[in-house]
Structure 1
């Protein structure tokens, strides 16, 4: 995994979403620059789809409620047929390898939000890998926001 550097993260909020509210409808789009290594997090009421990225390398996530409990549910695009099985496998492995970095950026970039909703620090994070190839079409558990913030601070987050 690439090491997270907060100086390489740019966060943009799109109204009516603010660093503090609301929870409902809060969507995250994380993109990156392969040349600079910079990460770009957009937090808004809609996903921010790139018009320049052909490979569809963004990570999309949102807070979803099921049976009274919230989880951060994300998704990434592995392949819908534009990549063959071998290329899709490479994309799947890269997404898996870099997902901790992506989730660290999302959680760190929106960390003020957790002051308004501290109980979400312990919400589960799930990532859906979308692919036409069954071996890459999965939903994986990635811990909690608290774990990502704690790993950055080297201590427990309160």
Structure 2
């Protein structure tokens, strides 16, 4: 896993979202530059589709609620039918390796929200691996932000 460097993260709040409001709807689009290693986190009421490239290597996330329980859903596109099974296997491996870094970046980038609502640190993180290949199409519980990133 790559090491998270806070100085390499740029955060943009889009229309309708502030550093601490609202929790729902609140959607995250995390992209990166392969050249510079920079991470770009857009936080808005909708995903930042205009920031997504054809490689589809972004991490999308959003807060959801079931009764009084909050949980964080993450969506990654392993292939969306665009790649061979071998390429999808490699992308699956890369996403699994880099997701802890992505989650750390999201948690750090939206730390003001977590400061305002500390209970979100205990929210379950559900990862949706989206793929046309059944062996890669999975939904997994990855613990909580507190478990993933420590107390920050």
Structures share a fold, TM > 0.5?
yes
Task: Say whether the 8 Å CA contact 2:31–2:52 is kept in structure 1.
Answer: no
Q: Which residue of 2 aligns with 1:105?
A: 105
Q: Give TM-score scaled by structure 1 length.
A: 0.91
Task: Say whether the 8 Å CA contact 1:14–1:42 is kept in structure 2.
Answer: yes
Report runs of 4+ in structure 1 exceeding 6 Å deviation: none
Q: Does 1:49 align with 2:49?
A: yes
Task: Say whether the 8 Å CA contact 1:108–1:149 is kept in structure 2.
Answer: no
CA distance in 1, matches of 2:52, 2:25: 25
Task: Say whether the 8 Å CA contact 1:19–1:112 is kept in structure 2.
Answer: yes
CA distance in 1, matches of 2:23, 2:68: 14
Query: Any residues of structure 2 matched to 1:9-158 within 5 Å, and which?
Result: 9-50=9-50, 53-150=53-150, 156=151
CA distance in 1, matches of 2:78, 2:5: 25
Task: Say whether the 8 Å CA contact 1:107–1:148 is kept in structure 2.
Answer: no
Structure 2 gaps of 5+ residues are none
Structure 1 gaps of 5+ residues are 151-155
CA distance in 1, matches of 2:27, 2:91: 23
Task: Tell me how many residue pairs correspond in the alignment.
Answer: 152
Task: Say whether the 8 Å CA contact 2:32–2:39 is kept in structure 1.
Answer: yes
Q: Which residue of 2 aligns with 1:153?
A: none
Superposed CA RMSD in Å reads 1.3
